[in-house]
Chain A
Amino acid sequence: MKAHRSLAERLVLGAPWAWLIVFFMIPFLIVVKISLSEAAIAQPPYKPVFDFADGWEALRKFAELSLSAYAGLADDWLYAQAYLSSLRLALISTLFTLAVAYPLAYAMARAPLRLRPILVVLAVAPFWTSFLIRVYAWITILKDEGLLNHALLRLGLISEPLHIFASDTAVVIGIVYSYLPFMVLPLYNAIARQPPELIEAAADLGAPPLAAFWRVTVPLSASGVIAGCLLVFIPAIGEFVIPDLLGGSDTLMIGRTLWVEFFDNRDWPAASAVAVVLLGLLVGPMALYERSQMAEAGS
Chain B
Amino acid sequence: MNKPSLIRSAALLLGFAFLYAPIALLMLYSFNASRLVTVWGGFSTRWYVSLLENDQLIASAWMSLRVALMSALLATVVGTCAAIALTRFGRFKGRIAFASMIYAPLVMPEVITGLSLLLLFVALDIPRGFWTVVVAHATLGMCFVAVVVHARLVTLDRSLEEAAMDLGATPGRALLSVTLPLAAPSILAGYGLAFILSVDDLVIASFTSGPGSTTLPMRIYSQVRLGVTPEINAISTILIASVALVLLAGWALGLTGRGRRA
A residues with a Cβ closer than 8 A to B are 1, 6, 8-9, 11-13, 15-17, 19-20, 22-28, 30-31, 34, 45-46, 48-50, 100-101, 103-104, 106-108, 110-111, 117, 119-126, 128-134, 136-141, 143, 145-147, 150, 177, 180-182, 184-186, 188-189, 209, 224, 227-228, 230-231, 234-235, 237-241, 245, 255, 258-259, 262-263, 268, 271-272, 275, 278-279, 282, 286, 289-290, 293-294, 296-299
Q: Does B61 contact A (CB under 8 A)?
A: no
**12 new A-B pairs (CB below 8 Å) besides A240-B109, A258-B111, A297-B154?**
A16-B81, A16-B82, A104-B11, A104-B15, A121-B247, A123-B16, A136-B224, A150-B38, A258-B115, A286-B104, A290-B103, A296-B262
Measured between alpha carbons, how far is A231 from B20 in the docked complex, in Å? 21
- Report how far A17 CA is from B221 CA in the complex, Å: 34
Q: How far is the CA of A56 from the CA of B107 in the complex (A)?
A: 39
Q: In the docked arrangement, what's the CA distance between A16 and B103, Å?
A: 13
Residues of B contacting A298 in the complex (Cβ-Cβ under 8 angstroms): 154
A20, A104, A238: which contacts B12 (Cβ < 8 A)?
Answer: A104
Contact residues of B: prevailing secondary structure = helix
Query: Which B residues touch A255, using CB under 8 A?
Result: 109-111
- Between A and B, 18 residue pairs with Cβ closer than 8 Å are A12-B84, A17-B94, A19-B142, A28-B116, A49-B123, A101-B15, A103-B15, A104-B12, A107-B12, A120-B257, A130-B217, A132-B217, A136-B26, A136-B232, A137-B23, A177-B19, A238-B112, A297-B261
Q: Which residue of A lies closest to B228 (CB)?
A: A139
Known: A16-B79, A258-B111. A30 touches B119 (CB 8 A): yes
A31/B236 in contact, CB under 8 A:
no
Q: At the interface, yes or no: B85 with Cβ under 8 Å from chain A?
A: yes
Min CB–CB distance B163 → chain A (angstroms):
17
Do residues B103 and A9 form an inter-chain contact, with CB atoms below 8 A? no
Contacting pair B172 A133 (CB below 8 A): no
| B160 on the A face (CB < 8 A) | no
Do residues A12 and B15 form an inter-chain contact, with CB atoms below 8 A?
no
A180 partner residues in chain B, CB cutoff 8 A: 18-19
Q: Which of B218-259 contact A (CB under 8 A)?
A: 220-221, 224, 228, 232-233, 236, 239-240, 243-244, 247, 251, 256-257
Interface centre among A19, A111, A181, A238 (most CB of B within 10 A): A19
How far apart sit A20 and B106, CA to CA, in the bound complex (Å)?
13
Pairwise interchain contact A137-B18, C-beta atoms closer than 8 A? no
Partner of B90, one of A1, A231, A235: A1
Task: Kindly state the separation between the CA atoms of A299 and B262 in the bound complex, as whole angstroms.
Answer: 15
A27 near B119 (CB under 8 angstroms)?
Answer: yes
Q: Which residues of B are at the interface with A, using a C-beta cutoff of 8 A?
A: 4, 7-9, 11-12, 14-16, 18-20, 22-23, 25-26, 29, 37-38, 77-79, 81-82, 84-90, 92, 94, 98-105, 107-112, 115-117, 119-120, 122-125, 135-136, 138-139, 142, 146-147, 150-151, 154, 171-172, 196, 199-200, 202-203, 206-207, 217, 220-221, 224, 228, 232-233, 236, 239-240, 243-244, 247, 251, 256-257, 261-262
Among A104, A108, A141, A188, find the residue whose CB has the most chain B CB atoms closer than 10 A: A104
**Docked CA distance A133–B112 (Å):** 22
Decide if A237 touches B109 in the complex (CB within 8 Å).
yes
Q: How far is the CA of A20 from the CA of B221 in the complex (A)?
A: 29
Q: Would you list the 5 A-B pairs with minimal beta carbon distance, nearest first?
A: A238-B109, A104-B15, A27-B116, A16-B82, A103-B11
CA distance A59 to B221 in the complex (A): 41
- Nearest CB in chain A: distance from B18 CB, A: 7
B residues near A101, Cβ cutoff 8 Å:
15
Kindly identify which residue among B11, B171, B172 contacts A107, using a CB–CB cutoff of 8 Å: B11
Known: A126-B19, A132-B217, A299-B154. A119 touches B12 (CB 8 A): yes
Cβ contact within 8 Å between A227 and B262: yes
Q: Are B112 and A106 in contact (CB under 8 A)?
A: no
